Structures are given as C-alpha cells and as structure tokens.
Amino acid sequence: MDAPEPETTAFDAMSAQTNRVMRKYQAYLDASTPYVPHRWAFTILLLIAFFLRIVFAQGWYIVAYCLGIYLLNLFLAFLQPKFDPSLTQDEGLEDGGSGDGDRSALPTKQDEEFRPFIRRLPEFKFWYSATRMIMGCFVASWFEIFNLPVFWPVLVVYWFILFSLTMRRQIQHMIKYRYVPFSIGKARYSGRHS
C-alpha cells in the first residue's frame, strides 16, 4: 500500500536548484541592508567604471543617456512621498469633498498630527534598482548592437535641461506641501529609555 514516489524530472531538479540559488541571493541582499554607505560606495564605483568605459570606448552614448534618464526617474520617486498630497486633494475635489480628509496626507499646519515622511521608493529599492541598471548598461556597452551613432553633446544638454526642469518642479512641490525628504538638519532626540 505504499504509494510510488513521483519521478523527478529534469525540470523539477532545475527548478529546485534555481530556488536554492535565489534564496541564497536573497539572503545576501538581506544581509547587506544595514550597510548603506558600503552599498552606495559599491554602486558609485560601478557607475564610475561604466562612465570610464563610455569615455574610453567613445561610444554607447544612448546606453548612457538611458541610464541617466532611469536614474533620474528613480531619484524623483525617492524624493516623493508615498501618499502625494496633491493627488489626494485632486481626488477629494473630484469626489465632491474638501480634499483634506485623507489620513495618509502630510501635515500642512503647525497643529496637525505628525506623520513621518514615507518615500514612494524606499532607499534599498532605489539602490537595488540603480545597481542592477548600471550593471545591465555596463554589460550592454560591450555589444556593438547598442552602439548607435548619435551626436552626444545634444544628449548631454537635453539631459541637463530635463534634470533642471524636473528638479525645479519637485522643489516647488516640496515647498508647496511643506515636506523635506531628508533628515539632514532635523532635530534628533536621544535619551535613555528605562
């Protein structure tokens, strides 16, 4: 009455091996979480290596431009609050409400309840996405198919214009809704807990 053991196929064996590798990879990622300066130092070194590759190879400017746009997009998501007050006000006005009944909105008056700043894109996901994209672009810079002929100064000027316009809009949003996405200069309280 013993049931026969199911046969393991090559697909099952490969799936088990892939799962084991992914668990080990995730364990390394989880272990690296508290080492913020070390992670970012690695990413900056990787970015420098990529830019050196672009400069010395004299090509792959489209790949570098795409990386710049992607990193700008990640940075903007990192600066924005998870619950955008401008969106909640717009939704409240569309529904016929006053727009200020949302619990997740940032405080706009001195006497309102404190709510911590929650980012749309957390720091770890920002780092992880940026590092993966830099690695992918570095690999792409070794394949001639991605080396499209372009006049690179136009891309550089266009990227700086795009950066300045989007950052100006983001800073205006931060001023209008009175939030600061960084903890530099904010009061820190330390004391003994008994």
Question: How confident is the model over 55-104, as pLDDT tens digits?
Answer: 999 999 999 999 999 999 999 999 888 877 776 665 555 555 444 444 45
Class of residue 60 by CB neighbours under 10 A (exposed 0-12, middle 13-18, buried 19+): buried
Phi, psi angle pair for 54, to nearest 5°? -65, -45
pLDDT, tens digit, 9 for 90 and up, residues 155-189 = 999 999 999 999 999 989 888 887 777 766 656 66
| 180 contacts: CB under 8 Å, gap ≥ 6 | 117, 174, 186
Domain boundaries, the chain: 37-82+118-181
Give yes or no for a contact between 65 and 86, defined as CB atoms under 8 angstroms apart: no
